[in-house]
A and B are shown apart, each in its own frame.
Chain A
């Protein structure tokens, strides 16, 4: 055997040896370690991702966005895979916006899974990904942002950590806004680059909501309520601006203000949308409905004169005026303009309990308006058969029944628009589909509605209870209200806690805008004329030119 042949033989032996080694390794990996490696490959190379559907945005009637969603991520960790928790916590904490010690504690825990952050902004999540820290997981999610922060926060509501609506429109329209999540299967190569991407279930984005609210008007109303809050230091205040022709809500504000991005951190009272969820006795603002019913039934006419003593006894109760006076003679119009308790009780007595009860219900009190908002209360209206002997002494003047601010505004809108009670609306469009105003139902004749409107102008004129609410160039109609709150402990009317309110609209002859103000427990002054009417005027002074409503 020559040298060459020996060399070839040696080379052959080496190659053969290598082949044997390779075969052995193949058998080892493909046989003994096969199942473990297959599992590892599946987890490392194949990702089954949930693709969160984009949640629909909420915008005002001009398209200004009040709630938007952006892609985000939940950042989780498998602590036992994190090699140096202290070091990694130091790198992660600034991006997570958390305390390094807290992050380190989470990374050092003995659990197999721990969340480091939920709904972290996408940009921050990307930065964390680039750190390439072993043991971190990123679960796609969506982050809700309310760019106007406190604007209409109680109306909008908020989202929980699981992305579900919690309160307000976010809750009431969760199904529409949420859409449907998709699923995606991604196969990655050894370098982690996706090589196969399958959309196993297509994500369907949620629909956008276009509200009837006007962000500019809403902001102004909230500013006015903030001034009321600063001046009278009430427990709370609520205001509504409505277009009475369609019952579209143009502004719905609650004070104290709450940041919609942190609605959960606010006290329950502040976070509540009290325009729909707060029952209160309306007081004198209710007298308009007593008069409207009596006019419609022909029980009284605007010119009827009533001889009114300083007080009137009804069964075991004595009803007095808010301000002391002697015996006077007032017409029906003057009774409403001067908000006479005695006069209204007399009108109620002419109407009778049964017909009064019917009118209360016809104006929509005692049941929900049906607006597309969560948490609406129905108010409380005494059943006719539960009337006592003195009921007709306090019900006609707005005591003994409770309403929500929205119910009151809706009923006043019926008087303002000529007698048609419509379901209030706050959703202008869902996706591309516009919603229409409800046709409503007629509750009083146009003639009666016009008579009441004329009477209500007297409230704002000289000699009325709210002359301070007048606006030059415009004929304003409105009604003040001051009601005692009920002491829960005794069940009697409080002598210290009141609700001051004002409802008004303009132009009185052909109303295009209606404003309701309700101030809960003002301090220093209690009357609607002093507390709520100036706020009404300030809102109207902005709203009339802003809405391009001509003087009249």
Chain B
């Protein structure tokens, strides 16, 4: 009989005798005796040393496997394990596990069902989106907009009636704008006597930081207050069309015709920063 089968038989016997004295069952039998016998160990070591290296390695593998089997048998035959297996706690554990499995399955089904609905929703949204994109394209068609514009009295300006500004460097525009800056007319602004202007620092600078800035005088060019170039839409070739409140060339004629040669003229008659403002249309 091999060592393992002997141990198994011993264990089986021990179970049959239940309730039995635990200590006797654990220490008796050939397995435990041989394991704790120092002579047997020495004999085994000597025999292992005697065999060639390759055979020794093979025997080593078998020895490890049998050792693992022994430990497993010992654990299964232990009193603690026996108590654990016989315990009623298992009922709860198994019940909990089964309920968990069912719950997980239900959850999976719910998720899958949700995915199905999400796919359906995505498809619907995609369809709606495509329809809306088509609608945007249709609504932006010139053949729809042009008659509407005509109904509102808008006319298409002749090409030569659109004025253009020559773009220049921001620095040059800023310098020119700064040169044209004038002090605000305090009387007109209704701030006479409330603001003092420090000499030598440039006119129009408020005396204190808490004083509100004076509003620009009526008729003053809007470009005079900022020092920035006029709001020219930059375009290719250094020239840009003048914005007349609508980027489209179909925008209505709103201001007097430009000077000869398409030069732009500010309706207010002010040329600020070298970039005169808006003009267009007949």
CB of B116 within 8 Å of the partner chain:
yes
Asked whether any CB of chain B lies closer than 8 Å to the CB of A183, the reply is no
A195 cross-chain contacts in B, Cβ below 8 A: 109, 112-113, 116
Inter-chain contact A147/B235, CB cutoff 8 Å: no
* B127 and A70 contacting across the interface, CB-CB below 8 Å: yes
Q: Does A170 contact B (CB under 8 A)?
A: no
Chain A residue contacts of B119, Cβ below 8 A = 184, 197
Known: A123-B127, A550-B262. A219 touches B143 (CB 8 A): yes
* CB of B249 closer than 8 Å to a CB of A: yes
Q: With a CB–CB cut-off of 8 A, which chain A residues contact B131? A: 70
Binary CB contact string for chain A from 527 to 552 against chain B (1 if under 8 A, 0 otherwise): 00000000000001110111011110
List of B residues within 8 angstroms of A545 by Cβ? 157, 159, 162, 241, 249
Given contacts A71-B123, A545-B241, A548-B241, contact A197 B130 (CB under 8 A): no
Q: Do A68 and B156 touch across chains, with their CB atoms under 8 A apart?
A: no
CB distance from B223 to the nearest CB of A (A): 21
Specify which chain B residues have a CB less than 8 angstroms from the CB of A123 in the assembled complex.
127
Contact A68–B262 (Cβ < 8 Å) = no
A220 within 8 A of B: yes
Tell yes or no: A216 within 8 A of B by CB.
Answer: yes
Q: Which chain A residues border B164 with CB–CB below 8 Å? A: 550-551
A184 to B116, CA, bound (A): 11
Chain A residues near B137 (CB-CB < 8 A): 64-66, 68, 147-148, 215
Interface residues of B in 144-162 (CB under 8 A from A): 156-160, 162
CB distance from B78 to the nearest CB of A (A): 43
Q: Is the CB of B116 within 8 A of A193?
A: yes
Decide yes or no whether A9 CB sits under 8 A from chain B: no
Report Cα–Cα, A546/B143, bound state, in Å. Answer: 16
Task: Flag whether A309 is at the interface (Cβ < 8 A).
Answer: no
A65:B157 contact, CB within 8 angstroms: no
Residue of A nearest to B116 (CB): A194
Q: With contacts A71-B127, A219-B142 known, is A548 near B240, CB below 8 A?
A: yes
Contact with B along A50-71 (1 / 0, CB 8 A): 0000100100000011101111
Complex interface residues of chain B between 241 and 282 (CB less than 8 A to chain A)? 241, 248-249, 261-262
Complex interface: chain A residues within 8 A of B140 (CB):
64, 215
Q: Assuming the A-B contacts A545-B249, A548-B241, A550-B262, are A193 and B160 also in contact, with contact meaning beta carbons closer than 8 angstroms in the complex?
A: no
Tell yes or no: B239 within 8 A of A by CB: yes
Say yes or no for A512: interface residue by CB 8 A criterion: yes
B159 touches A512 (CB 8 A): no
Q: Which positions 216-256 of chain A face chain B at CB distance < 8 Å?
A: 216, 219-220, 223
Q: In the bound complex, do residue B136 and residue A65 qualify as a contact, i.e. CB atoms below 8 Å apart?
A: yes
- Write the A454-479 contact mask toward B (1 if CB under 8 angstroms, else 0): 00000000000000000111100000
Give the Cβ gap from A206 to chain B, nearest Cβ, in Å: 13
Q: Is A368 in the interface zone, CB < 8 Å from B?
A: no
B115 sits at the interface (CB 8 A): yes
Instruction: Find residues 493-524 in chain A having any chain B CB closer than 8 Å to their own CB.
Output: 510, 512
How big is the B interface, by class?
A: 35 or more
In the bound complex, CA of A396 to CA of B261 (Å): 39
Residue of A nearest to B126 (CB): A71
Residue ID in chain A nearest B247 by CB atoms = A548
Q: Which chain A residues border B130 with CB–CB below 8 Å? A: 68-71, 145
Give chain A interface residues in 177-229, CB to chain B under 8 Å. 184, 186, 193-197, 215-216, 219-220, 223
Picked from B123, B124, B134, B241, the residue with its CB within 8 Å of the CB of A68 is: B134
B133 proximal to A (CB < 8 A): yes
Asked whether any CB of chain A lies closer than 8 Å to the CB of B141, the reply is: yes
Is B18 engaged at the interface, CB distance under 8 Å to the other chain?
Answer: no
Task: Say if the beta carbon of A395 comes within 8 Å of chain B.
Answer: no
Asked if B240 contacts A147 (CB within 8 A), the reply is no
Residues of chain A lying within 8 A (CB to CB) of residue B112:
194-197
Contact A542 B249 (CB under 8 A): yes
Chain A: CB-nearest residue to B127:
A122
- Given A473-B159, A550-B237, A151 and B116 touching (CB < 8 A)? no
A residues less than 8 Å from B45 (CB atoms): none
Assess the A546–B116 pair: CB atoms within 8 A. Answer: no
* Assembly CA distance A326 to B178 (angstroms): 67
**A residues near B249, Cβ cutoff 8 Å:** 542, 545-546
The residues in A between 291 and 309 inclusive whose CB is less than 8 angstroms from any CB of B are none
Q: Check if B211 is an interface residue, CB within 8 A of chain A.
A: no
The answer to whether B138 has its CB under 8 Å from any CB of chain A is yes
Give the nearest-CB partner of A72 in chain B.
B127
Q: Which residues of A contact B236 (CB under 8 A)?
A: 512, 548
Do A151 and B133 touch across chains, with their CB atoms under 8 A apart? no
The CA of A540 and the CA of B237, in the complex, are separated in Å by 18
Residue contact A68 to B133, C-beta cutoff 8 Å: yes
Q: Knowing A66-B137, A193-B116 touch, does A472 contact B158 (C-beta < 8 A)?
A: yes
Q: Please indicate the chain B residues that have their CB under 8 angstroms from the CB of A219 in the complex.
A: 141-143
Residues of chain B contacted by A145 (CB below 8 angstroms): 130, 134
B143/A147 in contact, CB under 8 A: no
Q: Which residues of chain A have C-beta atoms less than 8 A from B116's C-beta?
A: 186, 193-195, 197
User: What separation, in Å, do the CA atoms of A216 and B236 have in the docked complex?
Assistant: 19
Within 8 Å by CB of B156, from A57, A65, A186, A542, lies: A542
Asked if B237 contacts A510 (CB within 8 A), the reply is: yes
A469–chain B nearest beta-carbon distance, Å: 13
**Chain B residues with CB below 8 A from A548, complex form:** 233, 235-236, 239-241
* Cβ of B37 under 8 Å from chain A: no
Contact of B160 among A148, A184, A215, A471 (CB under 8 A): A471
Q: Would B133 and A541 count as touching, CB distance under 8 A?
A: no
Alpha-carbon distance between A487 and B154 when the two chains are bound, in angstroms: 49
Tell me if B133 and A197 are in contact (CB < 8 A): no
Alpha-carbon gap, A507 to B126, bound state (A): 46
A512 touches B237 (CB 8 A): yes
A542 to B112 Cα, complex, angstroms:
57
**How far apart are A533's CB and chain B's nearest CB, in angstroms?**
16
**Nearest residue in B to A66 (C-beta to C-beta)?**
B137
B158 and A147 contact, CB distance less than 8 A: no
A550 partner residues in chain B, CB cutoff 8 A? 164, 235, 237, 239-241, 262
Say yes or no: A471 contacts B127, CB within 8 Å: no
Is A147 a contact partner of B159 (Cβ separation < 8 A)? no
For residue B138, give the distance in angstroms from its CB to the closest CB of chain A: 5
Given contacts A64-B137, A148-B141, A220-B142, whether A54 and B115 have CB atoms under 8 Å apart is: no
Closest to B242 in A: A548
Q: How far is the CB of B193 from chain A (nearest CB, A)?
A: 50
CB proximity to A under 8 Å, residues B38-61: none
**Residue ID in chain B nearest A151 by CB atoms:** B141
Query: CB within 8 A of A544: which of B126, B136, B143, B159?
Result: B159
Name the CB-closest residue of A to B131.
A70
Q: Nearest 7 pairs between A and B by C-beta? A: A473-B160, A194-B116, A70-B130, A550-B239, A147-B134, A147-B137, A545-B249
A-B contact pairs, 22 of them (CB 8 A): A68-B133, A68-B137, A69-B130, A70-B130, A71-B130, A122-B127, A126-B124, A145-B130, A147-B135, A195-B109, A197-B119, A215-B142, A219-B143, A472-B160, A473-B159, A473-B160, A510-B237, A541-B158, A548-B235, A548-B241, A551-B159, A551-B262
Interface residues of B (CB under 8 A from A): 109, 112-113, 115-116, 119, 123-124, 126-127, 130-131, 133-138, 140-143, 156-160, 162, 164, 233, 235-237, 239-241, 248-249, 261-262
Given A216-B142, A545-B159, A551-B164, 17 further pairs, Cβ under 8 A? A64-B140, A68-B134, A68-B137, A70-B134, A145-B130, A186-B116, A194-B115, A195-B113, A197-B115, A215-B137, A471-B159, A474-B159, A545-B157, A545-B162, A545-B249, A546-B249, A551-B160
